[in-house]
Structure formats: C-alpha cells, structure tokens
Structure 1
Amino acid sequence: MKAPVEISFGADTTLGYVRYGNGPTHVLVMHDWLGDHSSYDAVMPCLDGHAFTYVFVDVRGYGQSIELAGEFTVEEISSDCLMLADQLGWTRFHVVGHSMTGMITQRIAADAPSRVASAIAVCPVSAAGNRLSPEALAFFASTIEDDEALRRLFKFVAGGLSDKWVDLKVRQSRDTVSPACRAGYLEMLVTANFVDDVRGLETPYLVIVGDKDPGLDSAAMTRTFLAWHPNAELHVIPNCGHYPMQECPPYFAALIEGFLKRIVGNSVHGTAPELK
C-alpha cells in the first residue's frame, strides 16, 4: 500500500518549506551551506510518511526563502525555525541539520530543550565553528561567485561521485542560493562559538559522517558532539562523502528513521535513550 504522503510548498510562514508525510512524529530538516531543501529530494521517497511528518525548511536566502534578507546568524536561524514550528503547531519535534546547520541543531536544542525530542547532525559543523586558515577562507569565499571553484569544492567533499553529479550540484546551488546569504553564512561558520551553551545538553543525538568526507570525520565528532552531549552516538557510513542523503538515499533514510523510531519508542515507554 502506497504511503499517503504529499509534498507541499509553504507560503504562509516566514520561512519557506516542503512538507512530506502526515505521520504523528514531527521532524524539522535543515540543509547545508551550498544548497536548499532540494538536496533531500532523492531521499524523500524512501521516508516513512505514515510514521513521520517531515518539514524540509529553507533558511533565509535559500530556495523558497531566497528573497528573505537577514542577519544570517546562528541565533536568527534558530529563532526562525522555532517560529516556524510554532506556526506549524508543533510543541515538540525532532531536528535534522546537515553540515552548516549541524550547529543549528545544537542552538535550537539549547534555546528550547523541552521542545526538541532528539537531534540528528549529518556531517556537521559544530558549535565551535569551523576555523579556517586565510588560504582556506579565501577559497571558500571564491566559491560564492566562481563556478570552477565551487565545482572543485563539491568534487573534494563528495567521495568520488561523477563529474555529472558535480555539475548538477553546481547548477542546483546557483539556482537556489543567494550570493549575499552565502557570504553572511560563511562569516557565521568561521566565527561561531557557543560551546558553553550546549555542553551537557541531554538531548539524544545521532551524529552521522561519511568515511570519505575529508574534513568532518569521526575524530572531529569525538572531540565535539560526542564530548559535549552525554546522549550522543556516532554512525560512520562506509564509502560515503559529505552528502549521504544523495549518495546513499535508502541507507540514509533507514539510518535516521531507525534512530527516530527508537527515540519515539523510548519516550512512549518512559525509558532513557539506549546508545550504541
């Protein structure tokens, strides 16, 4: 039997979004620095729309929110997402963040700990930010306008995917991301530091990395997310780079939903999260 799932575009809230599924468990999903909600298009058909309602949000400057100006800060994204949850009528929900928005899962959990049932951080930058050398910062900044530099970045982090995939990612990024917001969020990434606000948060966490992601590896996660969050667990996806939702969609869907269903089951039975 086909799941009664439906994709709809949000126009009645501050942030734009795509909704998938109509299940009782609510999941807010955020994208990375280089693309909007459509980075998750390949994984959507693999998700359980009976059990979950997913809202794939576009933060300011991306996708459905591309015309929204802002300060482009950690605090602003958290506030916008919590406002969206209010408008959706979600009192308690799960959050998923990828890369840049990995740190936003931490900010939201710190800002509203009673509302965040669990968090999933995918190939994430942490609350400590991503301090870059002057040379690396100059390269990342160049990708905002330079297609060849952006192509090199996607090729570097993608774990060996085809040139055709890289070309598609470049076009997706150019079509769905405003250059002004990219510059603002890059500043956010390299200056953010709110570790003291998240240290000791008891929110159940699943941290996911690919074993071919060159910068955000398991050692980095052990020093950050796993060191700060007592209820965090790490999963390393084999033969995968920085985009598991595109590189291995069925596996990624099974991984996150296995975690979410375990958290929901533990909540129903009043037990603490069982970490692996």
Structure 2
Amino acid sequence: MNAPVEIRSGSDAVLGYVRYGNGPVHVLVMHDWLGDHSSYDAVIPWLDGHAFTYIFIDVRGYGQSIELAGEFTVEEIAADCLMLADHLGWTRFHLVGHSMTGMITQRIAADAPSRVTSAIAVCPVSAAGNRLSPEALAFFASTIEDDDALRRLFKFVTGGLSDAWGDRKVRQSRDTVAPTCRARYLEMLVTANFVDDVRGLETPYLIIVGDKDPGLDSEAMACTFLAWHPNAELHVIPNCGHYPMQECPPYFATVIEGFLKRNAI
C-alpha cells in the first residue's frame, strides 16, 4: 500500500486524520459508525495522489480522535470538519461521507455551501435519519457490546460475505471506536431530521450504493438524496454491499475520482 503522507492525532483544536496525496484538488473523507479512517486503507493504492489531496478524518471517538470527548451530534461533526478545513487552509473542498456521515455531507453543504465544491455520499443515511423499528434499534444497540451481533450485522449488510470478513471487521471496529461514543452516535442516526435545511441545495452530488446493501438501496436514495438535491446522480455498484471501499477498492476509486475530476473547478 502506498504510504500516507501524514498521520495526525486529534486534539482540542483539530480532529485527527490521515493525509494522502499532495494534489491541488482537496477532498475531505469521513467514515461510518462502525469503523474509523482505516476502512479506506484498501482504496489508497488506487487513488491519484498527484491530482488530489485526501484527508481521511476521524470524528470524535474514532481512530486518531479516539480520546476526544464531545456531544456526538450532527452539528458537532460538521463544525469539527469545517474547523479542520480552516486549519488546513482549504477555502473550497470536496466531501465524501459513508453511511453515518452521508448526512454530515448534507449538514456541511447546508452550513457552508460556498465552500463545498461537490459531495459524494456512499451507502448514506440521509438528513431524515434512519427511523429504525424498535426491534431493529434493539439489534443495532446490541452490536455495541456483542461481538456476535456485530459480526452478523457486517455479514448482513454485505450480502453474506465470509466469516473471515466478519471477524476482521469486528476487530477493526473494536480497536478503533471508543465504547463511550457508540450509543450517542446511534442516537444521532435515528433522531436526526434536518431535511428542510438541505432541500434544493445545488451542490453536485454523487450517491453510491451497492446492489447487495439491503437497507440503503437505490429506492431509498430516490426518496431522499435524489429527491432533495437537484444536481444529484446515482451510481449502483454491482455485486457489492455496504463497504464498497473495502469490497471493490479499485472500482470504487475509479468511480469517485471520475466524479471529482468532472467537478474539480
């Protein structure tokens, strides 16, 4: 794997992150509820570090920011990302959000529309939140401590990948996510609702889903991102579940960089 240019631990002043590339086009990349920046490790060898500078952030409670306490809210993540962009000297930048942080791309685009050149939402939860049934919420909550439940979740959202896949994802999640933040971010996911703030945003959007992701599919995107954002387009990755950056990294890199290059100005 190509080595990252810089690894920075988080502090009270700025989130932790991993930087890759030194190109003129700036891309801020966010992770999901169940893992940190390392979910993107498999993609790095296929990225164009001459055209782009990628900052793979860790939100509070994850990875390089695992020691950072906080409110663990949509608004806090968005403010932290904008503060990091300021720290980096980025006036304008692109956003990538995955699952939980799909909605964060919308919050940042609504809060600072002049700064967001384009956004990519990967298998995303939207500004409407994810209104889980009581049974589903209880299952998601059980994954916070129950390794077997977490393993079953990873396998379910990827169309039944192997036990070895599930085991590795469980280890990654347990190693990189602080237990104290998991329940708070789950609460954020199921209660968020700021649709009125994002409806009609002209930010160019690419929505990526995998055809084996059972909950966040193209039908769900048609009712949310595609309905609200006039400049949104959908790309469905075949034979792929909820983690395209790990399940098919070269293809995922090709799709996102094609979109970023079309919207680089």
TM-score by length of 1: 0.93
Deviation at 1:161, TM superposition (A): 1.8
CA distance in 1, matches of 2:226, 2:5: 34
Whole-angstrom distance in 2 between the partners of 1:167 and 1:101? 24
Structure 1 unaligned segments of length 5 or more: list them.
268-276
Equivalent in the alignment of 1:273: none
Q: Tell me how far apart the structure 1 counterparts of residues 230 and 160 of structure 2 sit (CA, whole Å).
A: 34
Large movers: runs of 4+ above 3 Å: none
2:143 is aligned with 1:146: no
Q: Look up the equivalent residue of 2:95 and give its one-letter code.
A: V
Task: Report the alpha carbon displacement of residue 36 of structure 1 after superposing the two structures with TM.
Answer: 0.1
Query: Which residue of the partner structure matches residue 162 of structure 1?
Result: 162
Alignment-mate amino acid for residue 62 of structure 1: Y
Task: Please tell me the residue identity of whatever aligns with 2:108.
Answer: I
**Partner Cα separation in structure 2 for residue 239 and residue 60 of structure 1:** 32
Is 1:25 matched up with 2:9? Answer: no
Alpha-carbon distance, 1:160 to partner: 2.8
* Matched residue, 2:212: 212
Q: Aligned runs of 1:44-123 on 2, under 5 Å?
A: 44-123=44-123
User: Aligned partners of 1:26, 1:159: CA distance in 2, in Å?
Assistant: 33
What letter corresponds to residue 70 of structure 2 in structure 1?
A: G
Quote the Cα distance in structure 2 between the aligned partners of 1:183 and 1:196: 26
> Alignment partner of 1:108: what SS?
helix
Q: Paired residue for 2:131?
A: 131
Give, as a single letter, the amino acid of the residue that structure 1 aligns with 2:8: G
Q: Are the aligned partners of 2:131 and 2:191 in contact in 1 as well (CA < 8 Å)?
A: yes
Taking the aligned partners of 1:199 and 1:241, their CA distance within structure 2 comes to 27
Listed one character per residue, the Cα deviations across residues 159-209 of structure 1 (whole Å, up to 9, x for unaligned) are 232211110000000000011111000000000000000000000000000
TM-score by length of 2: 0.97
Give SS of 1:220's match. helix
Aligned length: 262
The alignment yields a C-alpha RMSD, in angstroms, of: 1.1
1:9 has 2:13 as partner: no
* Whole-angstrom distance in 2 between the partners of 1:21 and 1:14: 20
Offset of residue 23 of structure 1:
0.2
Shift of 1:102: 0.2
Q: Paired residue for 2:242? A: 242
Q: CA deviation at 1:68?
A: 0.5
The answer for unaligned runs of 5 or more in structure 2 is none
Asked if structure 1 preserves the Cα contact closer than 8 Å seen for 2:4 and 2:18, the reply is no
The amino acid that maps onto 1:10 is: R
SS at 1:227 equivalent: helix
- Deviation per CA, 1:201-238, whole angstroms, max 9, x where unpaired? 00000000000000000000000000000000000000
3-state secondary structure, aligned to 2:104? helix
What secondary structure, in the 3-state scheme, does the structure 2 residue paired with 1:137 have? helix
Question: Percent identity among equivalent residues?
Answer: 85
Q: Please state how far the C-alpha of 1:108 moved relative to its aligned partner.
A: 0.3
SS at match of 1:53: strand
